[in-house]
Amino acid sequence: MGNMTSESELLGQDPLKMYIGGKWVEASDGGKLESINPYLQKIWATVPNATAGDVKAAVGAARDAFDNGPWRQTTPQQRAALMRKLGELMTRDAPRMARIESCDNGKLLRDLQAQWRYQSEWMYYYSGLATQPWGEVLPSDRANFFAFTKREPVGVVAAITPWNAPCLLMVMKLAPALAAGCTLVIKPSEHTPVSTLVFAQLVEEAGFPPGVFNVVTGGPEVGKNLVSDPRLDKISFTGSDGNGKVIAHAGAENLTRVSLELGGKSPQIVFDDCNLDAAAAGIALGIFGGTGQSCLAGSRLIVHRSVHDKIVDRLIALAKALKLGDPLDMASEMGPAATEPQFKKILSMVKAAQDEGATVAYGGKQAPEGGFFVLPTILTGVLPDMNIARDEVFGPVLSVLTFDTEEEAVRLANDSRYGLAAGLWTLNVQRAHRVAGQLRAGSVWVNAYRVTAPYAPFGGFKHSGIGRENGREGLSEFLETKTVWINTD
């Protein structure tokens, strides 16, 4: 367990509690859930395991705050001021929050610190959008009528998040929802519940009214209780496509609006006219960054046959040089898998790929560091109909496929049920535009990978999701449009 005193200082509360209706509460039956530090493979924190009644109370608090509380009467300027304050607190506590998330999911402290330093930008960007005019005057062709639209908050939002970037993915929902004037019940992953509970301390300190932001913790059962509550107006889910379908069904039951940010099997296309060193570095970052546990991991390398060996050699050299180690050590370059099931899944998918005929060019096994560490892995000879080319691994495993023509490259890239992101590497500007236009993916990077920002819409085509986060479109997900006709006669 490490040093308890410093841990309770880090967490700011002992025991950790849920935040419901502006009050700190334990599970009503006293139930607990343990969070395991994947590097130490030890329980490092304990959180409440919400009962069905706790979930009902949280939705009730959010409903009451929306229907009767002061939140809907706030002006956009007042909401924006609170959001800016929260952004400042997020920056102030970035080192602490980064450390908590690293203990929860084993991601590198240095990556999380950078992420946390930037995360406040979501609050600032959406606080700005909150104060922009949202409606429009309609050019009416009816005599004596003045018509206009207003955009109003959708209402009470359930936000469900996965374990790979708990607060960042939550903030991508929270910031636009707050700007819109919604209230929320958040349920973080059972594997990484801690940072969202601690985040609630910042929300309280910023001075948001009770019931605007509520957190319940627990596993899929808690999630199911939440999404089936008919008092919700909207469910915003980030997670696997399998669970996305279950949640879409739950939403359909009550006609609750649903937006989904799901998985990916994103291609990186390497043409023979690219800068090979830059491409190799971008591909390595795209698949080994965050131990590959990223929805936008560039997991399919689609490379022109003539540069296949040159790229693979460079990638092997980069993989070999990666320093695996303690996520809290700033010198580490890759951490462990976040959970034991995830560790086992990665290795079993690599084994299945070998059985299908793929070749392990590098890695493919547990790293000498032991624990949940997997070596960065490069699989060559992958064919488009192999499972390893089709299913999300959510680990540092790159599948290499080859092509001969641009047309074939595009076909292979689009031959996926997913469509979250894609990268392409070429120095030919016409080709860059042509291919970017043909890829069925929500984000396309040319001679780059992984760049995201609060103002840039992000989301998936096909099974990678429904709806968009970030940018103005991300705000629209939390708004209803109302048309008002005024008889001026």
Chain residues that interact with ligand NAD, rule: CB under 6 A:
160-164, 169, 187, 189-190, 219-220, 223-224, 227, 238-240, 243, 246-247, 261-264, 295, 392, 394, 420, 460, 465
In angstroms, the Cα distances linking 111 to 77, 171, 468 are: 33, 17, 24
Pairing of strands 23-25, 18-20: antiparallel
CB of 355 to ligand NAD, least distance (A): 23
Q: Among residues 115 and 161, whose Cβ is nearest to ligand NAD?
A: 161
Residue 182 is encoded by which pair of tokens?
């919604």
CB of 472 to ligand NAD, least distance (A): 18
SS3 state of residue 348: helix
C-beta nearest to ligand NAD: residue: 223
Q: How many other C-beta atoms can be found within 10 angstroms of the C-beta atom of residue 205?
A: 14
CB 93 within 8 A of CB 113: no
CA 360 to CA 381: how far, in whole Å? 9
Q: Among residues 324 and 337, whose Cβ is nearest to ligand NAD?
A: 337
Nearest to 134 by CA among 145, 112, 150: 150
Burial class (CB in 10 A: 0-12, 13-18, 19+), 9: exposed
Element (H, E) at 270: strand 267-270
CB of 186 to ligand NAD, least distance (A): 10
Q: Among residues 168 and 212, whose Cβ is nearest to ligand NAD?
A: 168
CB of 272 to ligand NAD, least distance (A): 30
Q: Among residues 227 and 361, whose Cβ is nearest to ligand NAD?
A: 227
With tokens 């706790």, the residue in question is: 54
Of the residues 101, 190, 261, 477, only one is catalytic, namely 261
CB 322 within 8 A of CB 344: no
Burial class (CB in 10 A: 0-12, 13-18, 19+), 72: middle
SS3 state of residue 451: coil
Residue 39 is encoded by which pair of tokens?
């590097």
Helices 166-180 and 94-105 cross at an angle (nearest 10°) of 130
Q: Among residues 181 and 264, whose Cβ is nearest to ligand NAD?
A: 264
CB of 458 to ligand NAD, least distance (A): 7
CB of 25 to ligand NAD, least distance (A): 19
295 is catalytic: yes
Of the residues 167, 190, 295, 477, only one is catalytic, namely 295
Beta bridge partners of 234: 157, 257
Q: Among residues 339 and 402, whose Cβ is nearest to ligand NAD?
A: 339
Q: Among residues 69 and 176, whose Cβ is nearest to ligand NAD?
A: 176
CB of 161 to ligand NAD, least distance (A): 6
469 is catalytic: no
Cβ contacts of residue 192 below 8 Å, gap of 6+?
35, 101, 104, 105, 163, 166, 338
Q: Where in the sequence numbering do the catalytic residues fall? A: 261, 295
